[in-house]
Chain A
Amino acid sequence: MSILVYAEHDNSELKADTLKTVAAAQAIGGDIHMLVAGSNCQAVAEAASKVNGVSKVLVADNAAYEHQLAENVSLLVTELAADYDHVIATALTTGKNFMPRVAALLDVTQISDIIAVESSDTFVRPIYAGNAIATVQSLDSKKVITVRSTGFDAVATDGSAEIVALDKATDAGNSSHVNDELSVSERPDLGAASIVISGGRGMQNGENFKLLEGIADKLGAAIGASRAAVDAGFVPNDMQVGQTGKIVAPDLYIAVGISGAIQHLAGMKDSKVIVAINKDPEAPIFQVADYGLVADLFDALPELEGKL
């Protein structure tokens, strides 16, 4: 059996979630190749060649793949897929964007967001915002899969795979990149942080998120938010944790002024330890919190920062 794993990257850095996606590929079993599609992405290819379990790195370095537009990347991956039984990508926005396109071009359905592998054709995935766990068998000849990285542990980076340059340029010509507005942060990446502190509607405004920053700095934590906080304009959308935002599973998740709606819980309830700080003792967040503190966050946060 052979598996093609799509490397998640930004042309300069291989994303840590890719290491977890390779762990899912190892659970399926077989010869694992990794595809790096991008532009000026040699550093990514070298990082990919060190990923444990990967035997070959295919590099498609071409301007057509600079922004990893779905129209162009899906054509490349579909062409390569002829030689593989499984095609796998991380369930982040890039993979979610182009992989179903690959599946359709191959005339198969996709198995999205798997959290466990039962066998080479049977996978476990959450449905209904994580309120049910489905075990699904794929009946298609080729398996197109996206992996929820919180379900797997990262593999080591002690490998030495062969790097093979591909001379490909699949440009569909019907889409183009205009611009990016990226959020810049010194803090750890939300998806990869071992501690996350999140604020909700109870923060009242964007200014008050500063109260979380001191604590985040002391703990080396990432800062997240509930949809209510994002919709109210307190913080940008890429900080949203939940069914429609990012899925996190840190060692410690601190929810501040978050009631705990189903859609928010979907994004964080696999955290190892959950702490809730909320002034409403009836808030549903307390039903999943390991440690709950019923208190006004405006008193509790400065005190917490002082005691860390």
Chain B
Amino acid sequence: MKVLVPIKRVIDYNVKVRVKADNSNVDLANVKMAINPFCEIAVEEAVRLKEAGTVTEVIAVSIGNKSCQEQLRTALALGADRAIQIDTEENLDSINVAKLLQKVVEEEQPQLVILGKQAIDSDNNQTGQMLAALTGMPQGTFASAVKIDGDKVNVTREVDSGLQTIALTLPAIVTTDLRLNEPRYASLPNIMKAKRKPLDVKSAADFGIDLTARTNLIKVTPPAERKAGIVVESIDELVEKLKNEAKVIS
């Protein structure tokens, strides 16, 4: 079976973002970029399914300008077989990303699509669910375990009160939570090999989808700063401050 893994190029998770002085957006100039951590987990899961013999081909896809080819090469180095870049300079709303991915699903006919549960930049947590709706597939979101069983996939999901397991009829969509797996590191020979793996570039405009923006980003501001606190010397002082100064305990 074929697995499709959509991935996103985002700011590296360790970087502290800065809001631009004109409040138009965050400043991404000369900032370290990386594959979104949840997407990395998605690639790892697809590669493990291939190593287990369940999956025959893993296709990575990313939507963005030429620079996202770097993240696609990373996915190839981690074990994906081939990659597709859907070229656009626009910063697309989730619904438009899902519509482009729907076209890729129609072309490639994967049995399983694995996405990250959210991108750490927009923090939307939408694309997988939207793609599931558009393709009519069932969805297993926030997955911490994925088990393929014949024409079904059992997905254990991280929910507010613990864990929930559901069974989905294939083809299906899965979105990854952090505890699904621990992604491997790409070895140097695999990075070299990845350079020779196929990477197709397609123009977003060629898909014939109306990609008009659905949102208007009015402004971006830094969050309210917390006032610097104090360091107390003892538990006695801490309890006294919490009771009498902050008045949060009695």
Contacts and interface: CB of A to CB of B under 8 A. Distances in A.
Interface of A: 10, 67, 69-71, 74, 92-94, 96-105, 107-113, 122, 125-140, 172, 174-183, 191, 195, 219, 227, 230-231, 236-238, 243-244, 246, 251-252, 262-263, 269, 272-275, 281, 286-295, 300, 303-304, 307-308
A203 B215 CA distance: 44
A292 B162 contact: no
Contact of A128 (B26, B94, B218): B26
The 8 closest A-B pairs by CB, nearest first: A100-B129, A104-B133, A104-B130, A100-B126, A290-B229, A175-B138, A182-B162, A178-B165
Given A178-B167, A182-B162, A96 B248 contact: no
A132 B19 contact: yes
Given A112-B124, A252-B242, A272-B248, A262 B16 contact: yes
Given A93-B159, A243-B123, A128 B11 contact: yes
B177 interface: yes
Q: Do most interface residues of chain A lie in helix, strand or loop, or is the interface mixed?
A: mixed
A67 B164 contact: yes
A300 B235 contact: yes
Contacts of B232: 291-293
Interface in B47-61: none
Interface string B205-241: 0000000011111111111001111111111101101
Most A CB within 10 A of own CB, among B19, B126, B228: B126
A202 B137 CA distance: 43
Contacts of A293: 231-235, 238
A219 B95 CA distance: 45
A97 B162 contact: no
A281 B233 CA distance: 12
A170 B125 CA distance: 24
A40 to B, nearest CB: 18
A108 B248 contact: no
